[in-house]
Amino acid sequence: MKGALEQFLTYLRYEKNYSSQTIRAYRRDLTDFLSFLDKNGINSLNEVKVEHIRLHLVGLMRRYKRRTVSRRLSSLRSFFNFLLKKGVIEKQPTEAIFNPKQERDLPKFLTVDETFALLKAPQTSLKESRKGVFELRDKAILELLYATGMRVSEISGLNMEDVDLGRNSILVYGKGRKERLVFFGGPARQALISYIKARNQLLKHNSGRALFLNAKGTRLSSRSIHRIVKKYSVLSGVALYKNVYPHILRHSFATHLLNQGADLITVQELLGHASLATTQKYTHLTVERLMAVYDKTHPRS
């Protein structure tokens, strides 16, 4: 069974062009499922029935939120579809199982004032010092997260050639290696220029073309970017009343655009959402703007 899992992960990596982060998630989900099969005395994937899938999901529901269980079920579907196409199994055991009904969790976001406080947190006055290089790097990362709405994995994966300072744009490789173009304004441009000028101080013989580098001169990881955002959320004081993480800047980006009148289709394109329904979750966050327009324009308001 482990051999089949490795074949599937190889397929995701080389044929579907999935990111290493996505592949790790699939590995975690499916390894957990294979352990479940082993504990229940199931030694062949051909022996898996719909009852086994349901029992596994019941166990997951006791430990995780419904959204996580849905994602794990999606992993199982993809795995068994792959096995069916390869002739490893004769029947798809997940086809009669529906996703659990989702909770309507509202996306968390920062206000404009909170966002600006976070962006001002890196102290970039000591530009020539070793510490100054990291401050410039961190400033550029924070500015780009908010200016573009990029995912943390997309920021981590940026290369030098992806950035066009002449057009204030970045070519992003999103989920499934799908390309999209994102844009940034003056503050993010200046932060990028300042960092790129100082980037040579971090270069090593093995640095490659990665835009954001760590102290070893290699590509900055998504986990490190999480730590950077947490650090400045504390320094700015925003962490006193908000749980700040990289994705909250993506939520803030979408919310602020919609509050200023951007249309859903544009925001969908900028975020790289495959479905407009995914972007629509942000519309409820613009109620305050809608109420203001109503009060201003309706004759009987």
Q: Which residues are catalytic?
A: 151, 175, 247, 250, 273, 282
Number of residues assigned to the chain:
301
Look at residues 156, 164, 176, 130 and name the one whose alpha carbon lies nearest to residue 15: 176
